Amino acid sequence: MAALDEFVASPVVRAAGVIPVSVIIAVRNEAHNLPRCLESLHDFGEVHVVDSQSTDDTVEIARSWGANVAQFYYRGGWPKKRQWAIDTLPLAYNWILLLDADECLTPELASEIQTAIQDPRFDGYHVALCIYFLGRQLRHSGATFRKLSLFRRGKGRFECRLKEQDASMADMEVHEHVVVEGRSAHLKCPLLHHNVNSLSQYIRKHDVYSNWEAKVWLNGNTDELRPSLTGTQAQRRRWLRRRFFTWPGSSLALFLYKYVFRLGFLDGVPGLIYCCFQGIQFFHIKAKIYELEHASEAGR
């Protein structure tokens, strides 16, 4: 089993009349971001903060905002953090909203969610991200993403792309996506995503992510959400990545695509840094794939 749990004795469910959604926020040392996120959730029925033994004030901040806190202890394998929370937490409502601590809702999005969950035709909703990087909104740079963050309990789960995982690949789902049994739709209002406060933290995080990406490239599973040029955004990106990845100079080409063709230069210095990092992270994955292949051949 990947984890053990530590629940708050009495889960906090808020007063009647609020949005009947269980919010799950996965965190580790997010004292800087968490207040902004929690403040945007005051109309939601309950908030669960799933922590990985933070050493800052994350837990105290979460409890001060009335959130339930659970500790996740990762020992490798599957499930990872968010799927464990979906499976384990004592959720009070039939809809789940997954957030990161550096994300927050606008009042317009909260209102749209309240309306959307009353529609019996849909079991999940994709939410667009409005990305802020180094304090500036990225309007270009290819920084347009949607993720399936809102879904009916019992209808959504994360795909498992790699069963043999360890702590070097993060204790949380990286680019696994939620798969919903049933119909899904897109919400119009975006989620605000404050992508980075510290470049050092950003680099460390993506170093761990690239460990996972390299292993997935060599041994991963794509059966549940298959690469497809005509599928969802996640499937299209996966399809393009698979074909683009093997090109010589693909890391430089990715930078040029985002900075020139997707007009990243119009996002100023933050756009330049973001596009450079995208290319560098791509190179890191390719280098780690080579490292793993070389180690495998040497061990034969």
Residue 163 has pLDDT above 90, yes or no: no
Return mean pLDDT, the chain: 89
How many C-beta neighbours within 10 Å does residue 299 have? 6
What is the model's pTM?
A: 0.87
Helix (H, G, I), strand (E, B) or coil at 31: coil
- Domains along the sequence of the chain with CATH: 19-298 (3.90.550)
Report which of residues 229 and 121 the model is more confident about: 121
**pLDDT given at position 107:** 96
CA atoms of 144 and 233, how far apart (whole Å): 10
CA distances from 27 to 105, 183, 202, 299 (A): 17, 29, 15, 37
- The residue-averaged pLDDT of 26-32 equals 95
**pLDDT given at position 168:** 82
pLDDT digits (tens, 9 = 90+) for 88-140: 999 999 999 999 999 999 999 999 999 999 999 999 999 999 999 999 999 99
CA atoms of 25 and 32, how far apart (whole Å): 14
